[in-house]
């Protein structure tokens, strides 16, 4: 499993732990829901800017996602 796959998997796990839908995370982060869904499926790369927005939406730290 490469780094991108780990990030997508962890985003999904943390989102589900928070009881949020993909659409809710995307709305709070100010990104398109389809883009966020593709991130979780490892079909997109995330920029640092969008990663920070997603972390804020999930009320998480980078170490919650980047556990490798």
Domain ranges of the chain: 3-62
Residue-level pLDDT at 67: 78
- CA–CA separation, 67 vs 33, rounded Å? 24
pLDDT one-digit tens code per residue, 27-66 = 999 999 999 999 999 999 999 999 999 999 999 999 999 9
- CA–CA separation, 68 vs 62, rounded Å? 11
Residue-level pLDDT at 4: 61
- CA–CA separation, 22 vs 25, rounded Å? 5
3-62: what CATH class? mainly alpha
């Amino acid at each position: 499993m490469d780094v991108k796959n780990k990030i997508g998997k962890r985003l999904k796990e943390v989102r589900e732990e928070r009881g949020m839908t993909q659409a809710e995370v995307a709305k709070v982060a100010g990104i398109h829901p389809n883009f966020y869904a593709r991130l979780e499926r490892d079909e997109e790369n995330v920029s640092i800017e969008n990663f920070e927005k997603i972390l804020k939406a999930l009320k998480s730290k980078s170490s919650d996602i980047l556990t490798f």
